[in-house]
Chains A and B, each alone.
Chain A
Amino acid sequence: MAGSNTSKYDVIVIGGGHNGLVNAAYLARAGKKVLVLERRHVLGGAACTEEVFPGFKFSVCSYVVSLLRPEIIRDLDLPRHGLEILPLDGTFTPMPSGDYLWRVNDHGKTHREIARHSRVDAEAYDEFGKAMQAMCRFVKPILSMVPPDPNTLNPRELMKLLFIGRRFQGMSSYDKYNQVQLMTMSAIDFLDQWFETDVLKATMSASGIIGTFLGVRSPGTAYVLLHHYMGEIDGAFRAWGFARGGTGAISNAIGDAAREAGVEIRTQSAIAKIIVEDGKAKGVVLANGDEIYADTISSSVDPRLTFNKFIEADHLPADFLEDINRFKYRGSSGKVNMALDALPNFKCMPGPGAHLRGAISISPSVEYMERAYDDAKYGNFSRRPYIDMVIPSLTDPSVAPPGKHVLSCFVQYAPYKLRAGLNWDDQKEAFGDTVINTIAEYAPNIKDIILHRQVVTPLDLEREWGLSEGNIFQGELSLEQLFFLRPAPGYARFRTPIRNLYMCGSATHPGGGIMGAPGRLAALEILKDKGAA
């Protein structure tokens, strides 16, 4: 029937998060007829902007951008589609003693500020920056690489392993030493080698734990530190920023680029099932019962949804299913978003000022960070959590009514699995109170200026954003879940045991953050198999 043919697509992309959209855009640009299906009413997945309270727009989940791959910005011409990144200047860490640590993008200022705490550290800080750049140069090509399969004898794959080996050999012995340590050590053990100032180490180590269920002293966190160090805006290392209009503006820009390339995007289109016949994916069934067929299905949602929810187990090999069931999510963070009547007033630096324009980090000591983790290990949210706060309305007034502000707090640890007897629906407000009480220790006026607050628990992330167990990276970034082991050994190359079914989300190499790399790499692999139209 002619009718059924016209409704057939080359590719259906499940999920309109940033990776799904990147994936769709690249495929459409190669001539594929692509349909993106998004369950929610807004695009972007966890990279979304929502007007939660009238006049106040929030980057509800992901709130800063840095990792977005420059080749994607270039290829999709995102600035033309409305992407504008506003720099986030500096990190301000208030301390209980009444002192603070304030690092900014101005080298001289930061040097003087760190020297105020320790002269040695001020010198080491420059060295550290240089060393990390060398590490990033080594790791970056690996991020743009489809992971090789160590089990193969295919010469091309072996060449890839050799390539990594050669690049490693090509580094100076100083860089090699650092690289090996970064891949294996804890953030604190690594930083201990460079710095003596506790608050500096604590704040820097925070990058090593974001989104993982690990503490700053857990081996493997040094790598996550690097992962976050790789951010770049316009090629400048270690620069973070806001998208004008909130993080959703990034997804919208990618969405626009995709639409321009011919992608059809449907929101409020939840998937119920992926249709598999004879080991091949053929299409999807929507929650409303509609069936849509396509040659290729590309799933940007996490493996649990893709393989445990949308596909019946008997279509999958037992070994693979075992690996997928074992893949660790374990969300460890939540968000608290607030609409404010005025700006918070920090005891250690009263009044408004440039320190409020950057990130404000509640990470006063290494012990504080580690104790926050200890609470989480036994199923409690941290009594005194690590909080990373930003006030985007200072940089981008469009997100709040005049004179008012939005405050976005990333909070860790908030373990998805609470101890027996507790559940997140009951704990949600207590969690919000804990965050506010913690902030109030540094900025006592916070309690008086809150107009509204929105608490996002790991359970909310799962229910509303489809992130299993609330993991913001669609699966932990731990060493045994990286590279050729992400998400499952033997299936790190965006392909699945089911023909015509691909994965393109953060659960694939190189992982989470608003990076877009999985979506792009998956598109290139799909085109390799299917040929450009």
Chain B
Amino acid sequence: MPETKSDRRDIVIIGGGHNGLVAAFYLAKAGFKPLVLERRAQVGGAAITDEIHPGFRCSTLAHTAGPIRPDIVQDMQLEKHGLRLITPETCVTALSPEGRALSLYQDTNKSAQAISAFSQKDAVKYSEFQQSLTKISKVLAEALATTPPDIDHPSGADLWSMLKTGRALRNLGKRDMYRVLRWGPMAVADLVAEYFETELLRSVIAARGIFGTFLGPWSAGSSLQLLIRAAGDSHLAGSAFFAAGGLGTLTQAMASAAKSAGVEIRTAAEVIEIRVKDGAATGVLLSSGEEISANAVISNADPKRTLLKLTDPTHLSPDFVQKLQHYRGNGTVAKVNLALCGLPNFTALKNGDGAALKGRIHIGPEIDYLERAFDESKYGNFSRQPYLEATIPSLADPTLAPDGKHVMSIYMQYAPYQLKGDWESQRKALGQTVVQTLAQYAPNLPELILTHQIITPQDLEDVYGLTGGQIFHGDLALDQFFTMRPLLDWARYRTPIENLYLCGSGTHPGAGLTGGSGANAAREILKQLKK
């Protein structure tokens, strides 16, 4: 009988990225039996570790856990499942081409002290700015953990949560409340200029407002990104959270926690279609030809892939399809991972000061430098003097590389997905640009390289399933945020197709490796499933 062949599940989750795993875990906790289907051979999405050279392991894409929501770590007991977070005292070190280095630490006073070598005034302002941001970030964290309200028909609960957010805002006091309202739409270059005079300090903080998006520091709204990031990590320049063994251990721990909660995970199981009947999702079709029917289908893939590729768009209204086509998500980052036979010697750091390199390394010494890097990408070229965020995780976690050897993981921006010409022919030039840029700060780097791994925006799409190579599943911008993520009125993890839900970074709150989208989605979906 054909029925026996078809598998029937209560919940199918498409994609085993961190948000999919988080959502699966919470749904399993609530008594469901979710089945997670991962296209690739390993779960983890963009949070994975690969061996890039015999004996050298590196976080392939995301290289800092950024920052995972503490309640999720606790609920999933990730530490019990093998996660060990490493948080070096140095959060970030910004380098200047003249051979100066500015390190910012977890400790505000220590950071201020480091800044005072550049400007006494900035040192004072740093603490002041940090204080405001810490206060504001608490309110924002609360707002990000809520489900965006239904604009057309706000429910009692929606009104209550809006009221709560409103009250929390008011309780910040007049000055800080106005700061939130004023900062959101600002250009991050303006924001940092209001506080600081030191270019190196300005640019390392401004970088938080542009990372991963198609914005330059002079783009209005880049401050919003800084605020969203600060909601999870109130450190002004951003902390550095590593996972021992690479970021893959984070998602491995999540998978393990999910499994012990009752989740079933299948890898190498590629969903090629979401089955829809009479306006409701009924299951999924795998590339193997296997069909799995389900009461609810949850997609951890990005909104465009989910609704325009995996679903037959004829099930959606033309209006919705058109809006979704306009959802912006053109990637701007590339990744280069290096296996090194020794520690590069940075001219700005005396006698190979390893401690300064344990956090993130920021290359982009001036606001204008960052903006110029952005300029090129507007016209379809990758930056010849790019903004880089590098880490050498083997310093804090020697298990990643053989003794005395290292891995270096570098985010390169701007590498526009929409390139003049194709990425394959530019791959080598991209790698060279990154190495040459770094060599301006660490001249011996080129001779230490054992191997390159170059991941272009096209690879991000083709290999890792990120539409447009956008690492956040869609630009984080004022018009694609909160009640507008991914689309106005569709920010509540539901889709126009009944029983089809979204739980990936293309939903509120979106940014980075926080697990926020997965956890929020699970909460909303549970409400629906229990109806």
Contacts and interface: CB of A to CB of B under 8 A. Distances in A.
Interface stretch (B57-65, B183-191, B439-447, B492-500): B183-191
A490 interface: yes
Interface stretch (A169-177, A198-206, A353-361, A425-433): A169-177
26 contacts: A151-B170, A177-B323, A177-B488, A177-B489, A180-B479, A180-B488, A183-B478, A184-B478, A184-B484, A185-B477, A185-B478, A189-B479, A193-B326, A218-B187, A219-B219, A220-B185, A319-B175, A478-B220, A479-B184, A479-B185, A479-B186, A480-B182, A485-B178, A485-B181, A489-B174, A490-B178
A150 interface: yes
B105 interface: no
A217 B187 CA distance: 13
Contact of A173 (B194, B371, B489): B489
Contact of B177 (A151, A220, A378): A151
- The 4 residue pairs across chains A and B that have the minimum distance between CB atoms: A479-B185, A184-B478, A489-B178, A184-B479
B220 A176 contact: no
A374 interface: yes
B477 A326 contact: no
A370 B170 CA distance: 39
A377 B218 contact: yes
B479 A489 contact: no
B291 interface: no
B328 interface: yes
Nearest to B215: A219
Interface in B440-488: 477-479, 484, 487-488
A310 to B, nearest CB: 24
A219 B214 CA distance: 11
A421 B215 CA distance: 29
Contacts of B181: 150, 480, 485, 489
A184 B378 contact: no
Given A220-B478, A328-B190, A480-B185, 16 more contacts: A150-B181, A169-B152, A174-B319, A184-B221, A185-B479, A217-B378, A218-B187, A219-B215, A219-B479, A319-B175, A326-B194, A478-B185, A478-B220, A480-B181, A480-B182, A489-B174
B151 interface: yes
B273 interface: no
A193 B302 CA distance: 20
B489 A219 contact: no
B484 A180 contact: yes
Contacts of B487: 177
Contacts of A445: none
Interface of A: 150-151, 169, 173-174, 176-177, 180-181, 183-185, 189, 192-193, 214, 217-220, 319, 326, 328, 367, 370, 374, 377-378, 478-480, 485, 489-490
Nearest to B194: A326
Contacts of A176: 151, 488-489
A184 B477 CA distance: 8
A176 B371 CA distance: 33
Nearest to A188: B378
Contacts of A378: 368, 372
A177 B175 CA distance: 31
A149 B278 CA distance: 49
A297 to B, nearest CB: 26
B30 to A, nearest CB: 32
Contacts of A189: 328, 479
Nearest to B221: A219
Nearest to B375: A374
* Chain A interface, DSSP helix/strand/loop, else mixed: helix
B174 A151 contact: yes
B151 A169 contact: yes
B160 interface: no
A328 B372 CA distance: 22
B174 A490 contact: yes
Nearest to A366: B378
A181 B479 contact: yes
A484 to B, nearest CB: 8
Contacts of A217: 219, 378
A218 B178 contact: no
A220 B170 contact: no
Nearest to B328: A189
A173 B152 contact: yes
A214 B219 CA distance: 8
Chain B CB within 10 A, most for which of A180, A183, A184, A217: A184
Contact of B178 (A151, A184, A377): A151
A491 B171 CA distance: 20
Contacts of A478: 185-186, 220
Interface in B282-329: 319, 323, 326, 328
Contact of A218 (B184, B218, B328): B218
Interface in B183-229: 183-187, 190, 194, 215, 218-221
Nearest to B191: A480
Contacts of B184: 479-480
A220 B326 contact: no
A319 B179 CA distance: 12
Contacts of B151: 169, 176
Contacts of B372: 378
A151 B488 CA distance: 27
A151 B371 CA distance: 35
Contacts of B218: 218, 377
A214 B379 contact: no
B196 to A, nearest CB: 14
A489 B220 contact: no
Contact of B378 (A180, A370, A479, A490): A370
Contacts of B379: 367, 370
Given A480-B186, A489-B178, A489-B182, A377 B371 contact: yes
Contact of B182 (A219, A367, A377, A485): A485
A485 B175 CA distance: 12
A208 B184 CA distance: 20
A496 to B, nearest CB: 17
B489 to A, nearest CB: 6
A24 B28 CA distance: 70
A214 B170 CA distance: 31
Interface in B30-59: none
B152 A219 contact: no
Nearest to B367: A377
B270 to A, nearest CB: 32
Nearest to A176: B488
A353 to B, nearest CB: 35
Chain A CB within 10 A, most for which of B177, B215, B371, B488: B488
Contacts of A184: 185, 221, 477-479, 484
Chain A CB within 10 A, most for which of B152, B177, B479: B479
